[in-house]
Amino acid sequence: MTHDSLTGLLNRGGFLAELQLCLAKRAGRKQRRGLLIVDLDFFRTVNVGLGIAAGDETLSIVAQRIRAAVHPSAVVARLSGVEFAVLADFADAGEAQSVAAELLEALSAPMAVGGTSIEITVSIGVSMASETDNPDRLVGRAAAALHQAKKRGRNRCEVECSMHSDPDDSQLNRRGELRRAIEDGELCLFFQPQIDLVSGQMNGFEALVRWDHPNKGLLAPSAFIDFAEESGLILPLGAWVINAAVAQQAAWHRSAAGRPPVRMSVNISAIQLSDPRLEEMVTEALERHGVAPGLLTLEITETALTADPVAALRTLEILKALGVRLAIDDFGTGHSSLTYLKRFPIDELKIDRSFIAGLTTDSKDHAIVASCIQLAHATNLIAVAEGVEMPAQLHALTELDCDLAQGYFYTRPMSAEDLEPWFIPRPDNMRLGEPQLVGQ
């Protein structure tokens, strides 16, 4: 399927295929291909304030206005929930910027949605194709320009030209480094155990990516994940993480006779959730390594679900049909509706660490955590607490009947080799704690 069912525009897969063809036809062209990525600012307020149907109506109007504002020969697509793309011929970057300005004006005009009038703004990133460009580089530069537009206040356009000023620390250099890291084996996985609070036994792991940078050492996700999303590299990076996590599951199972299968949780981003190849990629990883789908949990943040609930529901239903488990990550920090919790085929609810931090010192945090656990159980979900660091927090979670917990109280994320002792069975009712921390 190459087209978006809501707007009728090309979807991400269809657009990338068309972009590949367009870039291949360079010979004899007097004009340059230019790419505009258009992203709606603060769109979740429409979904939350007016409902999903109004959100869909708004997206349809946006698609119509973009199509009407650009040349008929331009290629227009919906890349993800609130992200659109325009590929067209321009005399130069100045003409592309003029078209972007026209789009800003057209899309800021009031819209009649759901019986009321609303106004939205957009941010736009522009990149111009060179003779040697491929789709990945062109999209990456437009995405980086879009990020600049958002950093500088939104409701504006930015062109890629400002990104070449520092050759030692440019966006392109960083992007090249990260691509090489993905391709040349500089990425690695660390794992954090999840503990069953009833039995005290290890229940599974969450896989967390690290970058073993040749000059900067071991980098945590916070040092490069945002840039991976801005630069368009989150899809190959995410695919690497899922395959590596599943491969480690299989390796652990083969390494010891009689060892039970290992449960693994992996985070996926909003961009991955909108990728039409996600189902195929997950299926291939599971089949390649011989791991049962039910042993893999994919964690999605609230904001990824609420950006485009209809598309998210469709993708989650496809993943659920594969047999994988699904979790809402960082629960309580977004703008989710309880309706989403009812509609989405979710198995786990992960309570954000910011609430766990104040669990024993702030009555409001305690009430929020208690409510999240009760809500999870009322909707037949498993409640998982993130960021558990203190014995008092663990005690409070146990009293509240939380199901699983993970955090520095048990251990920091570790390599696969360092985690081997965690597979040793503990006597029933023996809770893991500070005396049992590996290496201490």
Hey, what are 396's tokens?
Answer: 């409070």
Beta bridge mates, 122: 40
Report whether 376 contacts 360 (CB < 8 A): no
Name the least confident of 81-90, 261-270, 429-438.
429-438
Residue 373 pLDDT > 60:
yes
**Nearest one of 360, 351, 340, 298 to 323, comparing CA atoms:** 298
Report whether 384 contacts 351 (CB < 8 A): yes
Residue 168 pLDDT > 60:
no
% of the chain residues with pLDDT over 90: 46
Q: pLDDT class for 327, splitting at 50, 70, 90?
A: very high
Residue 437 pLDDT > 50:
no
CA 61 to chain centre: 26
Q: How far is residue 227's CA from residue 271's CA, in Å, rounded to a whole number?
A: 13
Q: How far is residue 329's CA from residue 6's CA, in Å, rounded to a whole number?
A: 27
Residue 434 pLDDT > 80:
no
Distances (CA, A) of 380 to 165, 328, 347, 349, 373: 54, 14, 8, 10, 11
Hey, what are 37's tokens?
Answer: 């990525």
Range 136-153 average pLDDT? 83
Report whether 385 contacts 400 (CB < 8 A): no
- Residue, of 216 and 83, whose pLDDT is higher: 83
Residue 334 pLDDT > 80:
no
- Residue, of 108 and 400, whose pLDDT is higher: 400
Model confidence over 173-214: pLDDT tens digits?
A: 777 888 899 998 999 999 999 999 988 888 999 999 999 988
Q: Which residues contact 301 (CB under 8 A, 6 or more apart)?
A: 270, 328, 329, 330, 334
Question: Directed axis angle between helix 234-255 and helix 171-184, to 10°?
Answer: 20
Summary mean pLDDT of the chain: 85
For residue 378, what pLDDT is reported?
92
Q: Which residues contact 143 (CB under 8 A, 6 or more apart)?
A: 37, 125, 229, 230, 231, 232
Hey, what are 316's tokens?
Answer: 């989650």
Residue 89 pLDDT > 80:
yes
Q: How far is residue 65's CA from residue 105's CA, in Å, rounded to a whole number?
A: 10
Hey, what are 162's tokens?
Answer: 């400002």
Model confidence over 271-286: pLDDT tens digits?
A: 888 888 899 999 999 9
Q: In what order do the strands lie in the sheet with 122-128?
A: 75-78, 83-90, 32-40, 122-128, 157-159
Hey, what are 393's tokens?
Answer: 């927090």
For residue 164, what pLDDT is reported?
40
Q: How far is residue 40's CA from residue 63's CA, in Å, rounded to a whole number?
A: 11
Name the least confident of 55-69, 147-161, 196-210, 262-276.
147-161
Q: pLDDT class for 296, splitting at 50, 70, 90?
A: very high
Model confidence over 105-142: pLDDT tens digits?
A: 999 889 998 888 888 889 999 999 887 778 888 888 88
- Residue, of 153 and 240, whose pLDDT is higher: 240
Q: How far is residue 273's CA from residue 279's CA, in Å, rounded to a whole number?
A: 10
Beta bridge mates, 78: 84
Name the least confident of 141-155, 233-247, 258-272.
141-155
The structural domains of the chain, ordered by start, are 12-164 (3.30.70.270), 176-436 (3.20.20.450)
Length of the chain as a residue count = 440
Q: pLDDT class for 333, splitting at 50, 70, 90?
A: low
Q: How far is residue 356's CA from residue 368's CA, in Å, rounded to a whole number?
A: 9
**Nearest one of 136, 60, 29, 142 to 96, comparing CA atoms:** 142
For residue 71, what pLDDT is reported?
92
Hey, what are 95's tokens?
Answer: 């003409």
Give the phi and the psi of residue 344 in degrees, each rounded to 5: -75, 145
Q: pLDDT class for 337, splitting at 50, 70, 90?
A: low
Q: Which residues contact 274 (CB under 8 A, 6 or more apart)?
A: 12, 79, 80, 81, 308, 311, 315
